[in-house]
Amino acid sequence: MINISDQKLHDAVYSLLQKGLNFAVTPRSTPIEDILAGVEKAVLSLPVEMAEEARQETVRIIKSSTLPRDNLRKTERAALKTLKDNMNLTILPADKGNATAVLNTSDYKQKISLLEDPAYRKLAKDPTHSIERKTTSLLRKSSLPEETRRRLSPASSRPPRTYGLPKIHKDGVPLRPIVSNIGAPTYQISKHLSGLLNQLTGKTSHHVKKSFHFTEILKSLQIKPGHLMVSFDVVSLFTKVPVEESLTA
């Protein structure tokens, strides 16, 4: 856990955050409404019989379950409440290193400047529901199998969300902007298309599998006298890509 804020944190806070952001804290009571809502959303794409079976099994598990023992010490539980109530701190996973970073909220808001790019504009209203209806309509008109259309159809969608991951290994701790499309109207279609496109990757000599593969390629290169090897870092790559030309390609 790395504290980049200007606030001094107690030992209990360090102990709590060092457990990692994927650590599941034992709830005070069973979140029945959240469980049922999550299951209901998950079974929307299933056949009626399977969906009803999943609902009944969920109810059976809830009725027969008991809360496990608290997995936090009293001081850690108090630290959790303190962090929750502290609006001056923002807690995020670091961009690299599997660490948890604590920043001043004011610094975070100043650094997350992605939306200041002129490629973006503020909308008059939330278009999520409209895009959901259009997506559903296009799927109904498609020639995809009914089961696939049902699986890809959006329901209870929410807009994509942007946030930044602190690059703790760089001076000034800049943020890497991330746009999460999970739960958005086109999320399931994006996953489906990604699966189709992945079958086409790796077919050319220019494909690099991972960083180790790239290292092996560099070892085999012979740089001529007077030549230089350079790397380019594109700023705001996706907003710089020309959409029409990309669609044509």
Return the pLDDT at 31. 87
Return the pLDDT at 96. 83
Q: Which residues of the chain have pLDDT under 70?
A: 114
Return the pLDDT at 218. 87
Return the pLDDT at 118. 80
- Residues with Cβ within 8 Å of 30's Cβ and at least 6 positions away in sequence, in order, are 62, 65, 67
Q: What is the pLDDT of residues 29-68, one digit of tens each?
A: 888 899 998 898 888 878 888 999 999 999 999 888 888 8
Say if CB 160 and CB 132 are below 8 A apart: no
Q: Which of 89, 113, 84 is nearest to 103 (CA)?
A: 89
Return the pLDDT at 116. 78
Return the pLDDT at 80. 92
Distances (CA, A) of 174 to 5, 33, 232, 235: 14, 38, 18, 13
d(C-alpha 118, C-alpha 236), whole Å: 11
